[in-house]
Amino acid sequence: MTEAPIVTVRDLVKTFPVRGRPGEPKRTLRAVDRVGFDVLRGETLGLVGESGSGKSTTGRMLVGLISATSGTVELFGHHIAGGAEKGALNKVRSRLQFVFQDPQNSLNPRMRVGDAIAEPLDVAGGLSRQARNDRVQELLELVGLPRSCGDRFPHEFSGGQRQRIGIARALALRPDFIVCDEPVSSLDVSMQAQIVNLLLDLQEQLGLSYLFIAHDLAVVRNISTRVAVMYAGGIVEMAPKRDLYAAPKHPYTQALLAAVPRPVPGRARAPSVAGELPSLIDPPKGCAFHPRCPFAFDRCRIEKPRLNPVEGGHAVACHLHEAGGSGTSAL
């Protein structure tokens, strides 16, 4: 049985105008370039990439925080982008939420945390004072904070606790789908593990689906069902978790995996991939990774590879892996 995905994204594009000096022609920055994926109920899609890969822009388009230039986003059967459906976003708004990277900046410092958590409830309306306060206490408990701490202010909490408050707030309206944009990147290691485990527990308890955005592959490994790797605005590889880590196919995914510093002293380290992240205003022709790719050949410099399925839900955008390609493992 195949269940319909709760999130369907097709050919999603976002460009931003770039203002040059007076007299120079107007240019555009292509932040997201024809991205497509599905998210199924109860699963986590990890979205990994470095600066400028388009991962956060993609996440923001999914919840309607920024509008798409073209392409479609379908949430719970409603087209919120690229469809003719009016007011679609309002129909699904309460079912999707966003958790931000920095709990320091996403909480109002002058608002008590109980009120911050209750804000979505207040906006939605329809709850008595008592029911609202009960729900706040329930949410605090759900994220592992004392029920009584709703009267305190954000600065009285540590970074990890503030991220718990951000999560409680996201859960207030009982969403089905949460975009987590680098939720542990600004936290200390010992706090990161606590938050990842909390998100896993909540997923189990509440049947949530996540899009989990991160900049390195180690962080998403525990939480993801499937992982998509982005580079310069496009998805270069997408696979079930086990396949991606055991047999990465795209040379960029391989480089990204090799780059993670591991807590194993004396380990022989593969040399870092050379070069810089590409410009999005004037991207390389063909495959965006070709100037840094040790396997690049003529075709890579001319033709942009498409994301093609290779086997069992594993897809890769690389000319080495198209029909007849030998793959990097054989080189």
Residue 218 is a binding residue for other proteins (CB under 8 A): yes
DSSP string, 120-148: HHHHH----HHHHHHHHHHHHHHTTS-GG
**d(Cα 254, Cα 329) in Å, to the nearest integer?**
10
Selected from 260, 285, 297, 306, the binder of other proteins by CB under 8 A is: 260
222 makes contact with other proteins (CB under 8 A): yes
Q: Could you tell me how many residues of this chain bind other proteins (CB under 8 A)?
A: 45
Cβ of residue 243: shortest distance to other proteins, in angstroms?
13
Touching other proteins, residues 148-187 (CB under 8 A):
158-161
Going by C-alpha positions, the residue among 38, 70, 34 that lies closest to residue 54 is: 34
Among 196, 228, 287, 288, which residue sits at the site for other proteins (rule: CB under 8 A)?
A: 196
Query: Which residues ranging from 38 to 77 are in contact with other proteins (CB under 8 A)?
Result: 50-51
Min separation Cβ 7 and other proteins, Å? 23
Count CA within 13 A, CB hemisphere, residue 301: 7
Residue 86: other Cβ atoms inside 10 A: 7
- Across the beta sheet with 308-311, the strand order is 96-99, 177-181, 209-214, 44-48, 226-231, 234-240, 314-316, 308-311
221 binds other proteins (CB under 8 A): yes
Q: Which of 190, 323, 330, 331 binds other proteins (CB under 8 A)?
A: 190
For strands 209-214 and 226-231, give the pairing.
unpaired
| Residue whose entry in the numeric block shows the structure tokens 């998509």 | 228
Other Cβ atoms within 10 Å of 83 Cβ, number: 12
Binding residue for other proteins (CB under 8 A) from 40, 127, 173, 200? 200
CB of 257 to other proteins, least distance (A): 7
Residue 277, interface with other proteins (CB under 8 A)? yes
User: Which residue from 21, 86, 129, 189 is in contact with other proteins, where contact means CB under 8 A?
Assistant: 189
267 lines the binding site for other proteins (CB under 8 A): yes
The helix (run of H) or strand (run of E) holding residue 302 is: helix 298-302
Residue 197 in contact with other proteins, rule: CB under 8 A:
yes
The smaller minimum CB distance to other proteins, of residues 76 and 231, is found at: 231
Output 87 or 261, the one with its CB closest to other proteins: 261
Q: Judge whether 165 and 110 are in contact, CB under 8 Å.
A: no
Query: How far are the Cα atoms of 41, 42, 62, 206, 231 from residue 7, in angstroms, in the given order?
Result: 9, 11, 9, 17, 21
**Under the criterion CB under 8 A, does residue 29 sit at the interface with other proteins?**
no
- 205 part of the interface to other proteins, by CB under 8 A: no
Among 41, 273, 284, 325, binds other proteins (CB under 8 A): 273
Alpha-helical (H) ranges within 8-112 are 55-62, 88-92, 103-106
Query: Which chain residues interact with other proteins by CB under 8 A?
Result: 50-51, 158-161, 188-194, 196-197, 200, 215-219, 221-222, 241, 245, 255-267, 269, 271-274, 276-277
